[in-house]
Structure 1
């Protein structure tokens, strides 16, 4: 008789959907511990624009993988996978359930499926690609990727500079496309009987979002205005004053931060900054929905429903997570 894998819960959804609120409700009701799955919440000093849970919330409900990097540092999906697996193992060893909450879908995919071996980042190649994008536009780089790696170009949106840059960087550094690296890894795994590190957990996957997209758009606009009122501009000003941060860093390219940075540099008016920040956040939500539509075994909840906690608990019982 095979040993049953330990349980874990994924709570996914687009930005501003109410993931954190539901996660806290689940943590009150179940023996769960929280792990953040968010590529912006990892950065210290980036609190308002990332909608980071308050100090009081984090004191009551600690989240792993929040405030683990300085904004000058990078953080890869592979690093997230290693850190998340270590946190999950620690939580499981104490008889509790890892509850992973956030909207960085690439991180969830890396955790579920593993990652192919890829070349290390090359700062010079990346800087050259970003300089070309600044001069000619990201669409030109997307066309270049489509010419050398149509499979990756089909997966990566022209408005997703981080993944677009990485795909071209891999090709320029190694001479092989990202798709070729994945194919080689898959062939190796097939020959050795191994895998790219599939997740050793029984995972229940929950997604939360408003049933009506315009409701989400309204929430996004309201939250962005509230961030500005809370001191978002002053937060980015402090980051700029450090002197070691610049617009091309992953931290500063985060939605909202890029637009406020451009406003502080004088290239946008305040009204333009707010408008573009809201548009960029909507685009992020659209990309998150695109990921989620391709996901399998998802249990959906409506953000506006009043019975999401009992519904979630009923679902978790039905898939034997709470046995």
Structure 2
């Protein structure tokens, strides 16, 4: 009995502002493929400018799956992403089309390719309990609490990282098992041919220039008003994953009069550069990766050639 070969999965990674979206659109014009976003910021509704979400016109022509999934008050984990992405990939392949995964959230890619641990979903009640305790006792006390039950995670997580601290404590309170114990178990992962590409400018200075230009464009497009609208809600605060997104936190603090407009832009650009540096650090140690250079006219043909070899 002949087994029908599944279409390959294309993974297009890279630091912020490296040109992933433009190449993804070119690939969509050339291949029977459907785009899946691999971006922990694009999952939020009403956060469009600061996340550099594709425009309404672009999304009309090039639909992206796994964007606008959550309200800014909600959480979305790597496990949530893997569950949703695997379902979307199966659906796309069932139609004999190619899943094209595009984004810069490296933990999402890693979890999908290697398999993710069976961690529990976020629990709003437990999280509120932890946040209340932190407000009363301080994050240092919460970090000490984590160290008592999971010293390995406590060594890895900084006391000033409330998002990860909450998650580690939440996992223990929900399951009775530590984050360290559960992450040693791997669950479902992507199968079949996986073509992995990373795109980045040849020079670091070029990437920095692109980041600064994009941030200025966001300001001109009304990024401040976007965050003002979020700030008017009474259910959002600075420690939520959505507001901790690069750019949003700096704008939020500016609106709190913590610094002036010029410093907000400087801090936002610096934070974005730091994000790009972390993304590149991930990618440099990534196995089975084919590198592409931003604005190289041969990028499209290189990816198409790799897809052709999978036939």
TM-score by length of 1: 0.85
The root-mean-square deviation of aligned C-alpha atoms, in Å, is 2.8
Q: Distance in 1 between matches of 2:174 and 2:280?
A: 32
User: Does 2:273 correspond to 1:273?
Assistant: no
- Choose which of 184, 200, 213 in structure 2 pairs with 1:209: 200
Residue number in structure 2 paired with 1:51: 52
- Using a 3 Å threshold, how does the CA distance of structure 1 residues 286 and 152 change in structure 2: closer, same or farther? farther
- Cα deviation digits, residues 273-316 of structure 1 (max 9, x gap): 11111111111111111221221111100113222111222233
| Equivalence for 1:190 | none
Matched residues in 1 for 2:307 and 2:289: separation? 12
**For the residues of structure 2 that align with 1:258 and 1:165, how far apart are their CA atoms?**
18
CA separation in 2, counterparts of 1:264 and 1:173?
36
Unmatched tracts of structure 1, length 5 or more: 187-195
Matched, 1:310 2:301: yes
Higher deviation after alignment, 219-228 or 302-311: 302-311
Q: Which runs of 5+ in 2 are unaligned?
A: none
Structure 2 residue aligned with 1:124: 128
Q: Are the equivalent residues in 1 in contact too, given 2:20–2:103 (CA < 8 A)?
A: yes
CA 162–212 in structure 1, closer or farther in 2 if over 3 Å, else same: farther
Q: Secondary structure at the match of 1:251?
A: coil
With normalisation by structure 2, the TM-score equals: 0.88
Cα distance, 1:57–1:146 mapped onto 2, change above 3 Å: farther
How far the C-alpha of 1:168 sits from its partner, in A, is 4.5
Q: Over residues 242-283 of structure 1, what are the superposed CA-to-partner deviations in whole Å (9 max), with x where a residue is unaligned? A: 332222221111110111011111112111211111111111
Cα deviations across residues 130-182 of structure 1 (Å, max 9, x unaligned)? Answer: 6489x668xx959976994437845x688865345423543465554322223
Matched, 1:240 2:247: no
1:220 aligns with 2:220: no
Structure 1 residues 13 and 129, CA gap change in structure 2 (3 angstroms): farther
Question: What does residue 111 of structure 2 align with?
Answer: 110
Deviation at 1:100, TM superposition (A): 0.7
8 Å Cα contact 1:152/1:179 also seen in 2? no
Relative to structure 1, the CA distance from residue 152 to residue 17 in structure 2 (aligned partners, 3 Å threshold; closer, same or farther) is farther
TM-superposition CA deviations, 1:76-122 (whole Å, max 9, x none): 11111111112111111111111010111111122112221224433
Q: Distance in 2 between matches of 1:234 and 1:177?
A: 41
Residues 159, 63 of structure 1: alpha-carbon distance in 2 compared, 3 angstrom cutoff: farther
**Counterpart of 1:289 in 2: which secondary structure?**
helix
Distance (whole Å) between structure 1 residues aligned to residue 160 and residue 289 of structure 2: 26
Q: Secondary structure at the match of 2:183?
A: helix
CA distance in 1: counterparts of 2:16 and 2:183, whole angstroms: 29
Closer, same or farther in 2 for the Cα pair 1:242/1:125, shift >3 Å?
closer
**1:47–1:94: structure 2 CA closer, same or farther, 3 Å change rule?**
same
- Count residues in correspondence: 307
Aligned to 1:192: none
